[in-house]
Chain A
Amino acid sequence: MTLAPDPLTSAATFVGMPAFPTAARAALADSQLRHNLEHATHTIRDKRARVVAEVDDWEELRTRGAALKDATLADLETHLLTLEERLTAAGATVHWARDAEEACRVVADVARSHGLDEVVKVKSMATAEIGLNEALAAEGIAAWETDLAELIVQLGDDLPSHILVPAIHRNRSEIRQIFLDKMAGAGRPAPADLSQEPAELAAAARLHLREKFLRARMAVSGANFAVAETGTLVVVESEGNGRMCLTLPEVLVSVVGIEKVVPTFEDLDVFLRLLPRSSTGERMNPYTSTWTGVSPGDGPQELHVVLLDNGRTRALADEVGRQALRCIRCSACLNVCPVYERTGGHAYGSVYPGPIGAILNPLMKGVGVDEQTDSLPYASSLCGACYEVCPVKIDIPSVLVDLRSQVVDAHRGGRPSVEAVAMKGAGATFGSSRRLRLAERFTGIGTRVAGRLGLASAWSGARDLPTAPTESFRAWWRRTGGGTDSAPGGPGSGTGGLDR
């Protein structure tokens, strides 16, 4: 007996997720997840490194990508108004959505105006971010995901855990089981003799999706880029499901984050070179679809474009954090992140996981509001691997540190935490070498007391604590005159004193 994977009754949600350390603890204990993630992230990571190494001017491309995005964001209003004007001139209807609710409302109203109870979807982060599928379900409209990984997530009543490969936490045997159990309830069943060979799994998905493509009268997409000067939307994909959705149905609604605008068609040159290599580790992605308004007799005859804010203007107002809006959703930062590699994406409690999620979520939602969001800037060892691979040079570690200061500042004034008291104490101690010298006399006692009280258990659960030395460096320096009192050579004698 299997449950029908009805998109109208999906229970999976990020709402109410615990803070990162708690969610991570559960994920870290899942050995299957750890194994799947290690294999998958290393595979994509290595592939990316190989194809990036082929490009001689990669660093220059990154710099150009970052500069283009920065210049566009600096004059966002102008570019958005141009985009609206050109889209409208090309026959599209432009809607402005301040938040998720407004955006979902537009999509639902378009579906209703045609009396539809289902739509097919192109993989889109913006629609995942606004919870479109759930909002449509509440209106009795089924939203069918057509990207293979999104299909796996949807059939499994699961949550996405990666920006590019949302089912990265699943291996092929798990996917086979999901298809066998759940496909029948959503349409064409999987063949009973389905093996876990990738080609067979893909074939089952193709057949299952084909009937949805041919039946659908309305599609919903996002866009990787929106070209202002021409009013052209662009979707970059690998599977061809996007092309099906963008060409077969009569009605198309594209939900586009306002940071997706690029001024000119020529700007695509830089991004279409940066994105595939960073994202899938391919020289070029198999399908790049572009469409400009409505073309009579060709493709959707009704096009709606929803320009979505949903916290982006809040991020834009953040002096340090606004660079996060350069993000082209390649997910290279996830694939190299040592934290993501071990916890997976669900622990981040958002459709945007990994390093970029750790900054985007607090930037778009604001800090000091909920514990989960406030925990994200701390979900990093600040190793900097993300910054190194980012195709648009987002300095994620610096943004993380800045967001940490915003989290701390948001909690100033209330009852101080143990950590806040400790940091204040450390701050005062480090303000004066005399105070530090006094404090250091108690280093040994301090570490022993901390150990006894269990204060150090977060450290010492799996790690030995160092034994404090009997004398600090500065005490030794004072006592020995910088080691010169007893040294035969004294400072600067090229021989030192090598005998013990």
Chain B
Amino acid sequence: MRVALQVTCLGDALFPDVGKATLRLLRRLGVEVDFPEAQTCCGQPMINSGYLDEAVPAVRSFVRAFEGYDAIVTPSGSCAGAARHQHAMVARRAGDQGLADAVATTGPRTHELSEFLVDVLGVTDVGASFPHAVTYHPTCHSLRMLGVGDKPLQLLREVRDIDLRELPGATECCGFGGTFAVKNSDTSIAMGADKARHVRDTGAQVLVAGDASCLMHVGGMLGRQRAGVRTMHLAEVLASTEGLAVEGSGAGSAPKHTEEPV
């Protein structure tokens, strides 16, 4: 099986440790992972803002980069959602049958990380250890667009020494929503404030989610509140083992550029 990492544009530019953690995790599980350097972005920022023409180059580079791989793994529910549920629309808009055929191949092969681990690899115990109080926020696109269900929680429950705390109102949106976060910043912040309150109510030390974008939003609020809660991507928790505790690269805590071996 040829496996490619789609690191996401946000992960590439702002949260590289999420990509590194994904690599480390998959390699530990015996999966050889390639990073096709032709990749850029899934196109979602343009698509969800209504700029479909502007999304065409991103979708073209997506299929160029990932054609030929058996599985495309991404540490993002929303980027996987874009590939699976939105690329066809962009291809139609471009009026390009070749592109439409290509996305019909890459779309179904794109897996969000927890789906890849549980459905494709068939593992829930990834050999991780994380002795901290954690609460998990299921991001909307992973939950409702992809339907990952409780797969991330299945994975987290198997982590050694983790103190997993239930997040009240977990399935409610955090308020990020891409450009919604700035176009409707007041509403976005009101939603984020409630999410941050629920996170604090759990007493958890770490907020975990499967999308760096949502973590950037809620983490940004928790950071502003000096809440003492740090954010970590699911991949970073699952990559942590007894010998290697990952600090977390999310917003709300200053990102640390780590040089851990992958």
A interface residues with partner B (beta carbon < 8 Å): 20-21, 24-25, 28, 338-339, 342-343, 377-385, 387-388, 397, 401-409, 419-420, 423-424, 426-433, 436, 440, 443, 458-474, 476-478, 480, 482-484, 486-489, 491-500
Contacts and interface: CB of A to CB of B under 8 A. Distances in A.
B40 interface: yes
Given A21-B183, A383-B173, A464-B251, A473 B144 contact: no
B210 interface: no
B175 A461 contact: no
A462 B144 contact: no
Top 4 closest pairs, chain A to chain B, by CB: A431-B57, A381-B177, A404-B50, A483-B262
A383 B138 CA distance: 11
Interface residues of B, number: 95
Secondary structure at the B interface, as helix, strand, loop or mixed, is helix
A141 to B, nearest CB: 39
A84 to B, nearest CB: 37
Secondary structure at the A interface, as helix, strand, loop or mixed, is helix
A233 B17 CA distance: 62
Given A383-B177, A427-B57, A465 B220 contact: yes
18 contacts: A378-B180, A381-B175, A382-B48, A403-B50, A408-B52, A423-B45, A427-B57, A427-B58, A433-B61, A459-B220, A466-B14, A473-B16, A473-B35, A482-B35, A486-B261, A492-B31, A496-B241, A498-B244
Contacts of B203: none
Interface stretch (B95-103, B108-116, B157-165, B189-197): B189-197
Contacts of B86: 401
Interface stretch (B5-13, B66-74, B148-156): B5-13
Interface string B15-28: 11101100110011
B257 A488 contact: no
Nearest to A463: B220
Interface string B66-97: 00000000000000000000100100010000
A380 B172 CA distance: 13
Contacts of B261: 483, 486-489, 496-500
Contacts of B61: 430-433
Given A28-B186, A474-B12, A427 B140 contact: no
A436 B262 CA distance: 24
A466 B27 contact: no
A462 B12 contact: no
Nearest to B172: A338
A404 B184 CA distance: 14
B220 A466 contact: yes
Contact of A473 (B12, B33, B52): B12
B144 A443 contact: no
Contacts of B135: none
A498 B21 CA distance: 12
A388 to B, nearest CB: 6
Given A423-B49, A476-B20, A487-B262, A463 B177 contact: no
B54 A381 contact: no
Given A338-B172, A430-B61, A483 B16 contact: no
B54 A464 contact: no
Given A466-B220, A473-B12, A496 B57 contact: no
A464 B220 contact: yes
B221 to A, nearest CB: 5
A480 B41 CA distance: 22
B217 interface: yes
B195 to A, nearest CB: 9
